[in-house]
């Protein structure tokens, strides 16, 4: 008995294969595609006692970006406008996404959302949160009193 490997294909690969076959039969057709994994990429890390959330937003300006916090959920959103260069052009491949996007993450309980700071530099928005100072409970001495008898 011979064991044969099962061939598993991903639906996106099949769509790409169909695109290539279509190109062979219709070489002049326009092709518009959406990049794979087009969500907003994030890095979250801690440095110098502060939690930093950094998002890559190439092509945007600070006025195109919005950062909000609601019920310990950080949302970074923005809009990348349509490239005027393509306005009257015949586009063959479009992989640079345009339009609105948004990404939300739940923040840990030990960050101070009231002291959040957001900066934008070189297509990266960084939102920084200081860690809350952990208050250690102070022991309270409760005096023990005798119960008066009857």
pLDDT in tens, 98-131: 778 888 999 988 899 999 999 999 989 999 999 9
* 22 inside domain: no
- Look at residue 11 in the predicted model and tell me its pLDDT: 52
Q: Are 9 and 16 in contact (CB under 8 A)?
A: no
* 123 inside domain: yes
* 3 inside domain: no
Give the pLDDT band of residue 144 (cuts 50, 70, 90): very high
- Look at residue 92 in the predicted model and tell me its pLDDT: 80
Residue 89's domain is classified under what CATH number? 2.60.40.790
- Render pLDDT for 12-60 as a digit per residue (tens, 0 to 9): 555 566 566 655 555 554 444 444 444 678 899 999 989 999 998 888 8
- Look at residue 74 in the predicted model and tell me its pLDDT: 94
- Look at residue 126 in the predicted model and tell me its pLDDT: 96
* 5 inside domain: no
pTM: 0.61
- Render pLDDT for 78-107 as a digit per residue (tens, 0 to 9): 887 766 666 778 878 777 777 788 889 999
The tokens of 15 are what? Answer: 């769509």
Residue 125: burial class (beta carbons within 10 Å; 0-12, 13-18, 19+): buried
């Amino acid at each position: 008995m011979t064991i044969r490997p099962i061939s598993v294909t991903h639906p996106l690969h099949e769509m790409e294969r169909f695109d290539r076959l279509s190109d062979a039969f219709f070489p002049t057709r326009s092709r518009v595609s959406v990049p794979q994994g087009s969500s907003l990429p994030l890095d979250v890390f801690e440095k110098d006692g502060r939690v930093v959330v950094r998002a890559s937003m190439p092509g945007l300006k600070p006025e195109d970006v919005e950062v909000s916090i609601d019920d310990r959920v950080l949302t970074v959103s923005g809009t990348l406008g349509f490239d005027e260069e393509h306005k009257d052009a015949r586009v063959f491949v479009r992989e640079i996404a345009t339009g609105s996007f948004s990404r939300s993450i739940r923040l840990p309980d030990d960050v101070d959302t009231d002291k959040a700071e957001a900066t934008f530099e070189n297509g990266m928005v960084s939102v920084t949160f200081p860690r809350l100072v952990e208050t250690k409970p102070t022991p309270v001495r409760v005096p023990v009193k005798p119960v008066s008898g009857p």
